[in-house]
Amino acid sequence: MVESLQASPSSPVTLGVPVTLTAVTKNNVAGTTASPSTSRLRITVPDGVTVLQDIPYAVQQLNGLASQTDSATFSAGPYTGVYTIQDCADDSNVVQESNEGNNCQSLNVNVACQPTVGQPCACNECGCGGTIGCDGVCYGQKPTPCKPDLIVNSIILTPSTPSAGQQVTLSATIRNEGPRAVASSSNARVHFTAPPGVIIDDIIYTINPLPAYGTQFDQAVLTAGPAGTYTIQICTDDSNVIDEVNEFNNCNSLTVNVQ
Ligand SMILES: [Ca+2]
Ligand SMILES: [Ca+2]
Ligand SMILES: [Ca+2]
């Protein structure tokens, strides 16, 4: 039987440190003699399947209640997680025993990062945040879809409450909110909703290629129509030629009262 199986240092251990495993094999029945046999120590990585090390070792003849202590060392790693250590006495079953069901013992060793590790990860074009683990992997980085995202960031009319017939300046900022550049040109459409009987044409203008988080500012000088309530809606990528993170945030609007 395996009387005990221990790891030193005990779990959790820091990635990369040597861990000494100590197993005690015992003949637990007084007055008997167990002939020489082979024990086996297996270290399984955190996937629960892959055997990292498989160490057979010889156990000498053991008289009743005698035991033999063996040890082996492995380097905690190559990555973090829970490793399973199993030790089995008489692994190839050459010794007939009164109890064949107590020949194995298992132990879990949690291999973890040092608490001091945790530098922020560098942002890349598809993610930001997170910290670097002691295994060098970035954990907790918030993924961002790798596409541009055009929005109408602002619509401003100056003056904001014009009089009928007054010259007004319409300013609009288009922003690429996505982590990837807009590679080609597209169109934005300015659509006016006017009081009954007033007809205003849409204005279509070009949005140039934009880097990630880049903006384009445009202005137009217009003449305020007859008194009433107008809505100025601007939609970017109006003919939908740009593949975006979000296609449903492309419009913004402003309500204007002409006096
Ligand atoms: Ca046996
Ligand atoms: Ca968008
Ligand atoms: Ca689009």
β-bridge mates for residue 228, sequence order:
258
* % of residues, the chain, pLDDT over 70: 94
Residues 108 and 118 in one domain: no
Q: Which of 104, 114, 41, 105 minimizes the C-alpha distance to 77? A: 114
Q: Which of 161, 148, 190, 147 minimizes the C-alpha distance to 257? A: 161
Token pair 């993610």 in the structure block, residue: 127
- Helix H or strand E segment including 157: strand 150-158
Residues 167 and 205 in one domain: yes
Residues 105 and 159 in one domain: no
Per-residue confidence (pLDDT) for residue 135, from 0 to 100: 66
Residue 144 has pLDDT above 70, yes or no: no
In whole angstroms, give the CA distance from residue 137 to residue 140: 10
Structure-model confidence comparison of residues 253 and 140, the more confident one: 253
Residues 183 and 224 in one domain: yes
Residues 108 and 126 in one domain: no
Residues 46 and 120 in one domain: no
Per-residue confidence (pLDDT) for residue 137, from 0 to 100: 73
Q: How remote is the CA of residue 7 from the centroid of ligand 1, in Å?
A: 25
Please name which ligand lies nearest the alpha carbon of 145.
2
Contact 128, 146 (CB under 8 A): no
Residue 116 has pLDDT above 50, yes or no: no
Residues 123 and 107 in one domain: no
Residues 124 and 176 in one domain: no
pLDDT digits (tens, 9 = 90+) for 154-177: 999 999 999 999 999 999 999 999
Q: Which of 221, 193, 216, 190 minimizes the C-alpha distance to 203? A: 190
Token pair 């495993």 in the structure block, residue: 21
Q: How remote is the CA of residue 47 from the centroid of ligand 2, in Å?
A: 41
Residues 119 and 76 in one domain: no
Q: Which of 258, 231, 64, 84 minimizes the C-alpha distance to 164? A: 258
Q: How remote is the CA of residue 55 from the centroid of ligand 1, in Å?
A: 18
Range of the domain at 226: 150-258
Residues 222 and 247 in one domain: yes
Collapse the DSSP code of 188 into the 3-class scheme (helix H, G, I; strand E, B; otherwise coil) and give the result.
Answer: strand
In whole angstroms, give the CA distance from residue 143 to residue 129: 9
pLDDT digits (tens, 9 = 90+) for 177-232: 988 899 999 999 999 999 998 999 999 999 999 998 899 999 999 999 999 999 99
- Residue 194: both structure tokens together: 């006017």
Q: How remote is the CA of residue 246 from the centroid of ligand 3, in Å?
A: 8
In whole angstroms, give the CA distance from residue 89 to residue 123: 51
What CATH number is given to the structural domain containing 48? 2.60.40.10
In whole angstroms, give the CA distance from residue 25 to residue 34: 11
